[in-house]
Structures are given as structure tokens and as C-alpha cells.
Chains A and B, each alone.
Chain A
């Protein structure tokens, strides 16, 4: 699986869009990009995934660059409850490996 690089931490104002970047420059053609988040001590929560095309669901949008070397997770209207660690993962087999992620703090 390709290695991913994310900023250690980010802040976002409540009600504003949170844009979380992820670099996966060594991603292979059959590796999907997955995003999870972990709120405090809870188990990680699946957010969204994509291969080439941009994706949107009720939680977030995923923008993948055309060369697939990076992606951005967008939380359109961040709330205080979105404060969490966000993980970006490149996956093509069953061994999903979580890195350190980005700690997003949503501030009032």
C-alpha cells in the first residue's frame, strides 16, 4: 500500500468548510483512497472513499487530483462534533494501515 502524508494538525472555524489534504504520491492504479476519522477514544469511523472520480456522501466530499497523487477531504460545514483525528489511507488489499492522521479542531 502507498504511504500517505497528512498535516499533523489543523484548525477550522465552526460553520466553515474544513479542507483536509492528503499526499499519496506513490499510489498505484488499483489503490483506493479511504478516509476515516476517530473521535476521542471511540473506534474509527468510515467517512468516504474513491478511486479516480470525486465522491460525495452525506458526511463529506472527496476530491482526488487527476494524477491521483493527492486528495482533499472536505467537510462542508464543520461543527464542533467534527473535532477528531482524520486518517487518509491508500488501500488495495485487506491490510488497511492507519498512520498518525490529522487532528482537526473545530473552534467556535
Chain B
């Protein structure tokens, strides 16, 4: 199985503070994704990356930035967290060359007070 580690797994922060979530993979998969999941909205794509320093926006990218300085790490940053960004965040990688077969991490639960 592909190895994905998300950190932190749980975080509580205050409105206006910066937050960075990290997604680390142990294999050299090219595509990586950040999703958020909220009740009533299902999973929504925030940003994705198709290589080192190559990223693109997803459906709900406002208020988020990403960086990928090396293949194994994909960082999601909330520059100034808001209560509407309280959510569960999932990182995913695309296995092999098939970009539809995603392997998801265990999720990071973020609460913004």
C-alpha cells in the first residue's frame, strides 16, 4: 500500500492564525491532492499538484495556498484561518499513471474557534 502521513491529525486554533497541514508520501507519486469534507457538502477539492512546484486550483481554493518543494511533501496553508475553514482535510495521491485511482490519507481534523 502507498504510504501517506498527514500531520497534524487534530488541531484547534483561533481565527486569524496561520495553519499549515502537511501531507507526506513515501513513494514518488506525481499527483497529490488536498480535499476538505464538510457535512452536507461531501468531499471538495481544494488544490492539487502534478509535480514539484506544479500546482493548480480546485473547486474551493479561496483562502488556501499550497506548496510542493519536493516530491514527497504537499503542504496546505491557511494564511489566516477562519471558522468556515473548520473541516476535515484529506490528502490523496494518485497511484501509478491513472489519475482517477486515488489513495487517501487518514485525514486532519481542524477546528477554528
Enumerate chain A interface residues (CB-CB to B < 8 A).
32, 34, 36, 41-46, 49, 87, 89, 91, 93-101
Query: Given A94-B31, A95-B58, are A43 and B104 neighbors across the interface (CB < 8 Å)?
Result: yes
CB <8 Å contact, B101 and A46: yes
In the bound complex, residues from chain B placing their C-beta under 8 Å from that of A87 are: 42-43
CB <8 Å contact, B104 and A94: no
Chain B residue with the shortest CB-CB distance to A94: B99
Interface residues of B in 81-98 (CB under 8 A from A): 88, 90, 92, 94-95, 98
Chain A residue with the shortest CB-CB distance to B98: A49
In the bound complex, residues from chain A placing their C-beta under 8 Å from that of B59 are: 95, 97
Say which size band chain B's interface belongs to: 20 to 34
**28 A-B Cβ contacts within 8 A?**
A34-B100, A34-B101, A41-B88, A41-B107, A42-B107, A43-B105, A44-B90, A44-B102, A44-B104, A46-B95, A46-B101, A49-B98, A49-B101, A87-B42, A94-B48, A94-B50, A94-B94, A94-B99, A95-B48, A95-B59, A96-B45, A96-B99, A96-B102, A98-B35, A98-B42, A98-B43, A100-B42, A101-B42
Whole-angstrom distance between the Cβ of A84 and the nearest chain B Cβ = 13
Q: Which 9 A-B pairs have the closest CB atoms?
A: A43-B104, A98-B43, A98-B42, A91-B100, A34-B100, A43-B90, A46-B101, A44-B104, A94-B99
Query: Complex Cα distance A95/B103, Å?
Result: 15
Query: Complex Cα distance A12/B101, Å?
Result: 26
In the bound complex, residues from chain A placing their C-beta under 8 Å from that of B29 are: none
Interface residues of B in 43-99 (CB under 8 A from A): 43-45, 48, 50, 56, 58-59, 88, 90, 92, 94-95, 98-99
CB <8 Å contact, B100 and A44: no
Whole-angstrom distance between the Cβ of B65 and the nearest chain A Cβ = 18
In the bound complex, residues from chain A placing their C-beta under 8 Å from that of B92 are: 43-44
In the bound complex, residues from chain A placing their C-beta under 8 Å from that of B99 are: 93-94, 96
